């Protein structure tokens, strides 16, 4: 399970809640099913300048496997590395350009 907060807010994450969806009177309702918190230690700090990504493993025991349906509507984690990949790509293209420019200059001088 993963969560991303890309807002420009500063805050401490002190607890995390897990919700299940159940049907009541013909309507789907989200119900708080589990909470994790620690009285003395926050889980994380969200700075306005940085996107916060939290990932959790939730282990369910004593529940029949066919009684659980997992619907992934989570975050596309590729968005977190896109800016870095763009920088690496730009650096590689710039390096290739300089290399080819040098090769052509050497060829023009008859060295290669």
Is the model's pLDDT at 1 over the cut of 60? no
Taking the C-alpha atoms of residue 96 and residue 3, their distance in angstroms, rounded to an integer, is: 38
Query: 67 burial class (0-12, 13-18, 19+ CB within 10 angstroms)?
Result: exposed
Element (H, E) at 42: none
- Please list the residues that pair with 46 across neighbouring strands: 11
Q: Which two tokens stand for residue 50?
A: 């940085």
pLDDT band at 25 (very low <50, low <70, confident <90, very high): very high
* More confident: 72 or 110: 110
Instruction: Measure the CA–CA gap between 67 and 76, rounded to whole angstroms.
Output: 27
pLDDT of residue 61: 83
What pLDDT, on a 0 to 100 scale, did the predictor assign at position 73?
Answer: 63
Q: Is the pLDDT of residue 78 over 80?
A: no
Please indicate, yes or no, whether the overall pTM of this predicted structure exceeds 0.75.
no
């Amino acid at each position: 399970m993963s969560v991303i907060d890309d807002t420009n807010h500063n805050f401490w994450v002190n607890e995390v809640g897990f919700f299940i969806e159940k049907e009541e009177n013909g309507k789907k309702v989200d119900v708080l099913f589990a909470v994790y918190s620690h009285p003395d230690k926050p889980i994380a700090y969200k700075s306005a300048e940085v996107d916060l990504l939290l990932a959790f493993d939730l282990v369910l025991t004593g529940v029949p496997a066919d009684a659980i349906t997992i619907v992934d509507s989570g975050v596309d984690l590729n968005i977190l590395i896109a800016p870095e990949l763009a920088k690496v790509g730009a650096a590689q293209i710039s390096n290739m350009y300089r290399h080819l420019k040098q090769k052509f200059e050497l060829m023009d001088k008859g060295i290669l």
